[in-house]
Structure 1
């Protein structure tokens, strides 16, 4: 075999994101509204005012991808990516906006968070997954890293977080830190859920990752928190069975 091609800088940064995710491929929505630069005051969003993605791009926002459900197309890339306070990390515009509010709220309560992985292209995810296969073997890699085309990071909706101490960097002990506990309790207020909760490996295919959160919008994240849903697919299945409870203007999930 020839020498291994060097990883790109963004791929090296992404290696930290063992948090593979499984999210299904968003299909571009013809009527999706372009992201706007302005932000509603945090208290208005919390009061129930829908965000742009909730109003205009719900199918992509709530699309579910797993190890068996790849993105479609597999090389999908969002068209509204923005830098997250650092050109090394990108997220969809609304996600970056809401994450800023989350960071501000955390800091107000004495918790300092940092981003360690954001959007990953199909190519970056391929390099990341291949690295872990070479390093740990395919079986171990599949427990912690998504195959290219099967990652929530590729949607621009997922982000891996850490505290500023780095003592539990990409480690399950992050869930026991003050920042990890705060994130688990408060992330829903800003539209984020933990994609790979504790005790759900048989369902998700991934080990517990308290550092990996995925944006689903404040409405669904709030519903999931109040109703006790751990996984988005379970929430969507229950919602599909109770159309009378669906909010006006909300599209039926696919």
Structure 2
């Protein structure tokens, strides 16, 4: 039987008796009937009933966990040029600054940086990391521009300049005058220094307050012990409680120094707290150390704790 197409009047037909069909099913059923009758289906469902666009799933490339995508900073021309002239500040700048340098070293992405090279400000010397060679001596030393209480009044040239600037700033800000007990100590002098501590305190006591020769930061020329000098200079042991000691704890990082042995890090370094013992890192690394809230160089560079000598 032939049913003439009447798509225009479909909406005028009498309602279908019986249970009401959902709108979507009703539309589908009408389309099927019209198709059987040979009527062309020219119209789709009304706009308010339009079917949703099909979901397109895009594949996301798999990312290997722990993959390193950063380029090797040691291949950068600026870094290579700075290494050629042994310019530590320029090398660090070539990495993108102090924090980027630290992060690259910790991630193992800095093959041109050796933390055991005593010629650089980033060297780490502790009870498990001796100097190489043990008798190392800095290539350049200068007199410290401070009042001294011993004859060990030298440090690396860059350290001497930085501590002079820092002492001038402390005095200008009303923090008093800063002097030094000692700076660079040679291997032989460190042998004698540690031996005197052993005589006075025993081996364990000496190892908690004095480095053995070849393990001392003083031997690198990058460390010095400060004293407070007003009418006269006091002892190093009283430095932390002085106005000068408080100023140094808050401001030394701005001049490239850190307080190397703090109470909070004693279990890592194996040394009693020494608020007088400053270690020079240069302004870039000292700023990263301070801003990152670190308390030991071991943590800063992701190295193991070294509370005891390994040999």
Q: TM-score, normalised by structure 2?
A: 0.57
Name the counterpart of 2:126.
66
- The equivalent position to 2:236 in structure 1, one of 167, 170, 194, is 170
**Is the CA contact (8 Å cut-off) linking 1:31 and 1:56 kept in structure 2?**
no
Size of the aligned set, in residue pairs, is: 191
Structure 2 Cα separation of the partners of residues 163 and 109 of structure 1: 15
Q: What CA deviation, in whole Å up to 9, does each residue of 1:99-118 have, x standing for no partner?
A: 11101101101221001110
- Taking the aligned partners of 1:184 and 1:123, their CA distance within structure 2 comes to 31
Structure with higher Rg: it is 2
Question: Aligned match of 1:95 in 152, 159, 172?
Answer: 159
Contact kept in structure 1, 2:83 and 2:91, CA below 8 Å: no
Q: Residue 53 of structure 1 contacts residue 94 of structure 1 at CA under 8 Å; is this kept in 2?
A: no
Return structure 1 stretches of 4+ with deviation > 4 angstroms: 56-59, 165-168
CA contact (8 A) 2:225 2:276 kept: yes
| Partner Cα distance (1:170, 1:98) in 2 | 20
Q: TM-score under structure 1 normalisation?
A: 0.70
What per-residue deviation string (whole Å, max 9, x for no partner) do you get for residues 49-81 of structure 1?
Answer: xxx432269752111111121100000001011
Relative contact order (C-alpha < 8 Å, sep 6+): which is higher?
1
In structure 2, relative to structure 1, the CA distance for the partners of 1:88 and 1:195 (3 Å cut) is closer
Partner of 2:88: 53
Three-state SS of the structure 2 residue aligned to 1:199 is: helix
> 2 CA distance for matches of 1:88 and 1:147?
17
Q: CA RMSD in A?
A: 2.2
Cα distance in 1 between the residues matched to 2:158 and 2:223: 12
Q: Which runs of 5+ in 2 are unaligned?
A: 1-81, 93-112, 115-119, 304-311
**In the TM superposition, what is the alpha-carbon distance from 1:209 to its structure 2 partner?**
0.2
Task: Give the deviation of 1:146 after TM superposition.
Answer: 0.3
Matches within 5 A, 1:180-191: 180-191=245-256
Stretches of structure 1 lacking an aligned partner (at least 5 in a row): 1-28, 34-51, 239-254
